[in-house]
């Protein structure tokens, strides 16, 4: 085969053409692999409200942060809009309880490192009926988790956590 490119005559054999196509496919495959690796090889920090202990009068909760990514996460902070947070509070949201159970949202509270596969938790209030505890039962709170990866890249994840019994998704279960 002969091709003319910019006035130059190129002679290509079938073998050379196949090798050129294979080279292009290999370069595209390498680019796709690097792109996928960069998306997957990172920390991935999520938040959830989990039942610490439940009884027939009250449910106590923990806020749990989990790194399900491939590498450790550093300098993790969690924040929320105070006005949206106030809508989720129940009748037992005294100043003392706010100080204890909302400390996780203070900007100077950083988790320095959370290894991949690890989780960390803190106490996160109670519910008593629909509005009697620190939280309103089934209230949702939008939160933002900011952290950096092992190599310094910054990440921000937006989640909505819900104040609900995590031991039973229906709210009904057998006594233990």
Distance, in Å, from the CA atom of 92 to the CA atom of 99, rounded to the nearest integer, reads 13
CATH class for the domain made up of 45-162: mainly beta
Cα–Cα nearest to 113, from 166, 150, 80, 145: 150
- Per residue in 82-98, pLDDT tens? 999 999 999 999 999 99
Check pLDDT > 90 for residue 131.
no
Distance, in Å, from the CA atom of 106 to the CA atom of 84, rounded to the nearest integer, reads 15
CA 87 to chain centre: 23
Average pLDDT for 129-137? 91
Q: Can you give the pLDDT at residue 151?
A: 87
Q: Can you give the pLDDT at residue 10?
A: 63
Q: Are 68 and 46 in contact (CB under 8 A)?
A: yes
What's the whole-model pTM score?
Answer: 0.80
Check pLDDT > 70 for residue 5.
no
Confidence of residue 11 (pLDDT cuts 50, 70, 90): low
Element (H, E) at 28: helix 14-40
Backbone angles phi, psi at 58, to 5 degrees: -145, 150
Buried/exposed code over 94-105 (b: 16+ C-beta within 10 A; e: otherwise)? eeebeeebbebb
Q: Can you give the pLDDT at residue 169?
A: 78
CB burial of residue 10 (10 Å; 0-12, 13-18, 19+): exposed
- Per residue in 18-58, pLDDT tens? 888 999 999 999 999 988 887 788 999 999 999 999 888 99
Report CA-CA distances (Å) from 26 to 17, 21, 38, 40, 68.
14, 9, 18, 21, 31
Residue intervals of the chain classified under CATH 2.60.40 are: 45-162
The two structure tokens encoding residue 141: 């709170």
Q: Is the model more confident about 139 or about 6?
A: 139
Place of tokens 């989640």: 159
């Amino acid at each position: 085969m002969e091709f003319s490119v910019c006035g130059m005559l190129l002679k290509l054999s079938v073998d050379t053409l196949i090798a050129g196509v294979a080279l292009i496919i290999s370069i595209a495959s390498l680019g796709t692999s690097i792109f996928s690796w960069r998306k997957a090889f990172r920390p991935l920090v999520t938040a959830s409200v989990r039942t610490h202990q439940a009884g027939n009068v009250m449910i106590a909760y923990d806020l749990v942060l989990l790194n399900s990514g491939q590498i450790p996460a550093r300098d993790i902070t969690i924040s929320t809009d105070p006005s949206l947070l106030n809508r989720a509070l129940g009748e037992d949201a005294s100043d003392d309880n706010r100080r204890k159970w909302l400390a996780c949202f203070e900007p100077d509270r950083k988790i320095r490192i959370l290894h991949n596969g690890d989780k960390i938790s803190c106490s996160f209030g109670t519910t008593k009926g629909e509005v009697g505890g620190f939280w309103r039962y089934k209230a949702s709170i939008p939160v933002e988790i900011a952290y950096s990866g092992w190599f310094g890249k910054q990440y921000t994840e937006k989640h909505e956590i819900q104040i609900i019994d995590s031991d039973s998704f229906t709210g009904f279960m057998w006594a233990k």
